[in-house]
Amino acid sequence: MGKPKIKIDIEADDISSLCSKLYLELQRYNAVRSFIDHTIEYMDIDALKDIERKVSKRISYIKELQTVAWDEKSAERYLKKLSQDAKKILEIIKQSERITKSELMKKSSFQPMKIAGLIAGMNNMAMKMGKRPVILREYIRSGGRWDIEYRLEHSFSELIKQI
């Protein structure tokens, strides 16, 4: 791999002001970089792990923003690619709006690993199409036990109501 690329968006009226603005940006970049390098030397393992968690969370958020919302043509193409079992899961979640994994198991008569595999496959297919994941999940506490609650991604949900 090569060196990381730096992208700077600078507007200027002439070459002289462009050079001045570019020089200021480079100074700012180098100052921040040297501050980070110096600060990291004095951090303990817990502080570094906390930073790692925050960076990981931010990367996930940015990746989610980079995916594109669903449009009608893409949704139709996606639905054609689904297996019958995946369509069954999708239909149950669509009818319920929000459903826990245990309820989904009862309604579909699928085992938990099959449900997890189908949902992962459906979301992977969506991501490969450059779209947002179709089924979102959230861990919830219900009746003293942990469960997963599934719901459809908003832009996809709105489109399949029309189809």
Same domain (yes/no): 156, 142: yes
pLDDT tens track for 52-76: 898 888 888 777 666 778 889 999 9
Phi, psi (degrees; rounded to nearest 5) at 144: 80, 0
CATH number for the domain harbouring residue 126: 1.10.10.10
pLDDT tens track for 90-127: 999 999 989 999 999 999 999 999 999 999 999 999 98
* Interacting residues of 134 by C-beta distance below 8 A, sequence separation 6+: 78, 90, 122, 123, 126, 152, 153, 156
Same domain (yes/no): 108, 34: no
Same domain (yes/no): 126, 157: yes
3-state secondary structure of 2: coil
What type of residue is 45? I
Report CA dihedral (78, 118, 126, 60) to the nearest 10 degrees: 160
Same domain (yes/no): 110, 153: yes
Q: Which pLDDT does position 117 carry in this prediction? A: 95
pLDDT tens track for 1-42: 566 666 666 777 788 877 887 888 888 878 888 888 878 888
Give the total number of structural domains in the chain. 2
